C-alpha cells in the first residue's frame, strides 16, 4: 500500500507496483513508479520534479484500461485521492476533480436537482476518464455539460481551457499534447425533474444488461455508426468464445470477462480475434474503446 503522508509526497511513491491491483480487469504487469498523491499540491510538486520526457500515465478506477503483462516503463499517477472534490457553485454550475467517481458525481448533482446528470451513473470510471474519452451512457455524453476544464502539463503548470480548445466526438477527445485533466466545471439545468430513484433505476438497468461484479473493463468496443458492437459480435457467433482465461460475456457481448485468471495477453488476443471475425463476417472494423498501454511480456 502507498503511505499517505501529506507533508512528504515521497512517502506516496512505490516502485515495481503490480498494475493488476489497479485495473478492473485485474491484469497487468509492474509499473516502474506508482504515485498516489494525497493532495493536488503534492501532485503539482511531484510533476515539477520529473525529468523532461518521462512517460506519464494517469489512472482513476482503471475501468477502461488494459495494461499489458510486461508492465509500464514510466510513472503512473493515481488521482482518486488528490482530485476528489465536488462543489456546487450555484446557477447550475458544479466543479468536480478528475478523481471523482462518475456515480458519485451523478448522485451529487441529482441531490441538487440538477440535470441532465443521471447518465453519469452509467459510466464505470472517474470524471478524468470521462473527460478524456467523452464517456457517455443512456443517451448522455460528458462534454455536453462541460463549461471549462482545468489541465496540467508535465512541469506542473495549471491552466483553464474551454471546449473550443478540443475536437470532441463520439468517445474521442483530441486536444493539446502533454496535458492532463485535473477537473472540470459543468453546467446543468436547475430544478431538473430528476430523483435518486431515477439514478437507482439506471443502475439497476445496467445490472440487468451487463455482467457487473465480474472483472471487466466495461464496453470494449465503440459502437460503429448506425449499429451496435454487441449485436455484431453476437451475430458473428462469438458469444462465450474464450482465449485462455478471457471470455466474451454471454450476458453482454461487448464485455470481455476475466473468468479464469486471464492474462492481459489473453484479453488482447481476444480483442484482436473479435475484430478479425466481425470484419470477415460483416465488413465492419470495430474500434476499441478500451485504452491499451504498456509492454508485452
Output the nine-digit C-alpha cell for 250.
454471454
List 171, 185, 259, 268, catalytic entry? 171
Radius of gyration, alpha carbons of the chain: 19
CA distances from 131 to 20, 52, 171, 191 (A): 24, 25, 10, 25
Pairing outcome for strands 30-35 and 72-78: parallel
SS3 content of the chain, % helix, strand, coil (to 5): 30, 30, 45
Q: Which is catalytic among the residues 24, 84, 216, 219?
A: 219
Known catalytic membership, residue 272:
no
Are the C-beta atoms of 268 and 292 separated by less than 8 Å? Answer: yes
Which one, of 90, 112, 118, 93, lies nearest residue 191 by Cα? 112
CA 62/CA 209 separation, integer angstroms: 21
171 annotated active-site: yes
Q: Which residues pair with 186 in a beta bridge?
A: 94, 146
289 is catalytic: yes
Residue listed under C-alpha cell 498516489 = 36
- Active site amino acids: 171, 219, 289
Amino acid at each position: 500500500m502507498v503511505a499517505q503522508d501529506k507533508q512528504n509526497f515521497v512517502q506516496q511513491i512505490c516502485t515495481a507496483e503490480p498494475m493488476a491491483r489497479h485495473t478492473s480487469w485485474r491484469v497487468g504487469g509492474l509499473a516502474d513508479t506508482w504515485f498516489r498523491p494525497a493532495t493536488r499540491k503534492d501532485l503539482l510538486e511531484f510533476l515539477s520534479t520529473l525529468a523532461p520526457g518521462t512517460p506519464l500515465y494517469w489512472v482513476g478506477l482503471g475501468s477502461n484500461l488494459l495494461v499489458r503483462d510486461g508492465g509500464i516503463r514510466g510513472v503512473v499517477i493515481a488521482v482518486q485521492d488528490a482530485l476528489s472534490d465536488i462543489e456546487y457553485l450555484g446557477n447550475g454550475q458544479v466543479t468536480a476533480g478528475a478523481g471523482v467517481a462518475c456515480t458519485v458525481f451523478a448522485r451529487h448533482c441529482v441531490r441538487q436537482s440538477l440535470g441532465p446528470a443521471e447518465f453519469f451513473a452509467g459510466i464505470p470510471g472517474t470524471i478524468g476518464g470521462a473527460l478524456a474519452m467523452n464517456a457517455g451512457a443512456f443517451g448522455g455524453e460528458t462534454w455536453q455539460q462541460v463549461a471549462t476544464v482545468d489541465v496540467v502539463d508535465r512541469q506542473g503548470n495549471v491552466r483553464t481551457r474551454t471546449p473550443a480548445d478540443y475536437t470532441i466526438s463520439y468517445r474521442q477527445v483530441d486536444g493539446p499534447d502533454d496535458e492532463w485533466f485535473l477537473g472540470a466545471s459543468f453546467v446543468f439545468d436547475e430544478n431538473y425533474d430528476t430523483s435518486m430513484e431515477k439514478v437507482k433505476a439506471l443502475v439497476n438497468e445496467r445490472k440487468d444488461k451487463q455482467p457487473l461484479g465480474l472483472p471487466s473493463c466495461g464496453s470494449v468496443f465503440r459502437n460503429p455508426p448506425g449499429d451496435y458492437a454487441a449485436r455484431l459480435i453476437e451475430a458473428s457467433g462469438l458469444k462465450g468464445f474464450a482465449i485462455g482465461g478471457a471470455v466474451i460475456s454471454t450476458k453482454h457481448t461487448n464485455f470481455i470477462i476475466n473468468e479464469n485468471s486471464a492474462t492481459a495477453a489473453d484479453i488482447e488476443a481476444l480483442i484482436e480475434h473479435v475484430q478479425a471475425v466481425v470484419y470477415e463476417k460483416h465488413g465492419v472494423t470495430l474500434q476499441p474503446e478500451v485504452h491499451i498501454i504498456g509492454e508485452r511480456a
